[in-house]
Structure 1
Amino acid sequence: MRLGKADITTPSGNRFEHHTVTLSPAAVIAVLDRDEEHVLMSHRHRFVPDVWGWELPGGLVDQDEDPERAAVREALEETGYKVGAVETVATFEPVIGIVRSPHHVFVGKDAELVADPTESDEGDYEWVPLSDVHALICSGKVQSSGTLVALLHLLGN
């Protein structure tokens, strides 16, 4: 994390100091089963907002790591599933006015279980029917912005 201060001049000529935060890039991946009827999700607690919610596999992109490779790596580490084809969905900034933290979103298809998960703090993953995803979102059970972007993409296609 890096904190900064920028000297800003607006198009109208107003000048002010603006505090900034730069965080590492993140990657998230929606892992689909072979029939593309289920998505692999974890129900877990996040202590900062003190909420339980459903999330997709994901994490920070290592320095000099390709975001797609990071998403595939995170899926394997957290779930034990290796994905086949990977589709790029979007790159977005979740708090664009203050924080620089690019979030890369992918969909992974043809998932195959190849190992046990190596990260035990990510909650237990389960296959959630895509037909249940809309209700999870509408009931507030999906809080993560990257997860929301990926799931809304799946629902729109």
Structure 2
Amino acid sequence: MTAEPKRASEWTIHGERVIDDTRRAVLSIADVELPDGVRFEQYVLRIPGAAMVIVVDDEQRVLMMWRHRFILDRWVWELPGGYLDPAEEPMACAAREVEEETGWRPRSMEKLVSYQPMVGTIDQDNVVYLARGADFTGADPDINEAERIAWIPLDEVQRHIDDGTIVGAGSVAGLLAVLLLNATGKL
């Protein structure tokens, strides 16, 4: 089997050295060369995959968590979700995270969208699922995850994105996909 020929615009990687390797991230510096011969070092962050869920109920509301993100020092609405455990299937992770973080168990789930959050620096597979309905388990949500859990009307989602109270890449990407489904009558 022969390798595919290099394309004219493809970067050359001369090496990569690990700076820090933890359970949740590997930070390295790659020695790269551009097609025009310019060579430089680029930080690379490799993170385990993550999965999240957009739970939509019969009243066209989305299950969301109000939480503080210390890196941004802001309070934001986010979808429930989290990192995949080793060898865990993304759909199983997504369902588990919804229940742990919100006290709701999603019903039927289907893959909605997958994405990479920042392809120039970060390698992290993310999957967003759509769940149609959920059942309350009676369990209290994890206090470490969110200050409160709420059902946000779907017709208010765009306003929250516009005003910056929904900013996370997964939440924005997934919710925009749901808004498109809704606009085309496929939700």
Normalising to structure 1: TM-score of the pair?
A: 0.91
**Distance in 2 of aligned mates of 1:15 and 1:56:** 40
Conserved 8 A contact 1:88-1:106: yes
**Distance in 1 of aligned mates of 2:59 and 2:34:** 47
Is 1:126 the equivalent of 2:150?
yes
Is 1:75 the equivalent of 2:125?
no
Deviations 1:85-122 (A, max 9, x none): 11212221111101112221111112111231452212
**Which residue of 62, 68, 73 maps to 1:45?**
68
Cα displacement (A) at 1:26: 1.4
Deviations 1:29-48 (A, max 9, x none): 11111x15111111111111
**Which residue of 159, 167, 176 maps to 1:135?**
159
Cα displacement (A) at 1:16: 3.2
The count of aligned residue pairs is 156
Aligned to 2:170, the other structure's residue is in SS state helix
Structure 1 residues without counterparts, runs of 5 or longer: none
Query: Which AA in structure 2 matches 1:97?
Result: G
Please tell me whether Structure 1 or Structure 2 has the larger radius of gyration of its CA atoms: 2
Which structure 2 residues correspond to residues 83-102 of structure 1 after superposition, within 5 A?
A: 83-102=106-125
**Distance in 2 of aligned mates of 1:129 and 1:6:** 44
Q: List, as ranges, runs of 4+ consecutive aligned residues in structure 1 with deviation greater than 6 Å.
A: none
Conserved 8 A contact 2:62-2:153: yes
**Which residue of 56, 80, 98 maps to 1:57?**
80
Judged with a 3 Å threshold, the aligned counterparts in structure 2 of structure 1 residues 36 and 88 are, in CA distance, closer, same or farther, namely farther
Higher relative contact order (Cα pairs below 8 Å, separated by 6+ residues)? 1
- Select between 103-112 and 68-77 the one with higher mean Cα deviation: 103-112
Is 1:22 the equivalent of 2:38?
no
Aligned to 1:71, the other structure's residue is in SS state helix
**Which residue of 23, 26, 46 maps to 1:2?**
26
Structure 2 match to 1:104:
127
Normalising to structure 2: TM-score of the pair?
A: 0.77
Give the percent of matched residue pairs that are identical in Structure 1 and Structure 2: 35
Conserved 8 A contact 1:60-1:70: yes
Structure 1 match to 2:22:
none
RMSD of aligned Cα (Å) = 1.5
Deviations 1:11-61 (A, max 9, x none): 34443332211112111111111x151111111111111011111101111
Is 1:145 the equivalent of 2:169?
yes
